[in-house]
Amino acid sequence: MMVDCQSSTQEIGEELVNGVVYSISLRKVQVRHGTNKGQRWLGCENESALNLYETCKVRTVKAGTLEKLVEHLVPAFQGSDLSYVTIFLCTYRTFTTTQQVLDLLFKRYGCTLPYSHEDGGPQDPLRK
């Protein structure tokens, strides 16, 4: 089964789940099935002869607290939601700092960095 990239999308609303606002849309995608016995019986032998459509519900992160947006970053990357990752990386500096994002990621995934009291930031491990 192959999913065609050609699709039509209809926005249907928003959902608030655990402090994150999701935009909800329905996306109609074309699914092409390869030739099978039923298609041959119907006289449809080439692959593009039988096209079916499926409607999928799509949730897209629209807004949330800084903590929730950062929390969604790694699962989005692992799930190949590169649009979320790209949009986050292009816009986060308008509402936070790189240090705050890194602190939240390190806190979420159990990493801690020593801080220097002199400059208020993580210590450079090579600096003595």
pLDDT, tens digit, for every residue of 10-34? 888 888 888 888 888 888 877 765 5
Q: What is the pLDDT of residue 93?
A: 94
Q: What is the pLDDT of residues 96-124, one digit of tens each?
A: 999 999 999 998 887 665 665 555 555 55
The Cα 39–Cα 42 span in angstroms is: 5
**Amino acid of residue 96:** T
The Cα 119–Cα 123 span in angstroms is: 9
Query: Which position has the higher pLDDT, 117 or 60?
Result: 60
Question: Considering the entire predicted model, what is its pTM?
Answer: 0.55
* Token reading at 24: 């909800």
Sheet holding 51-64, edge to edge: 2-17, 20-32, 51-64
**What residues does each domain of the chain span?**
1-63, 65-115
Which helix (H) or strand (E) segment is 90 a member of? helix 82-91
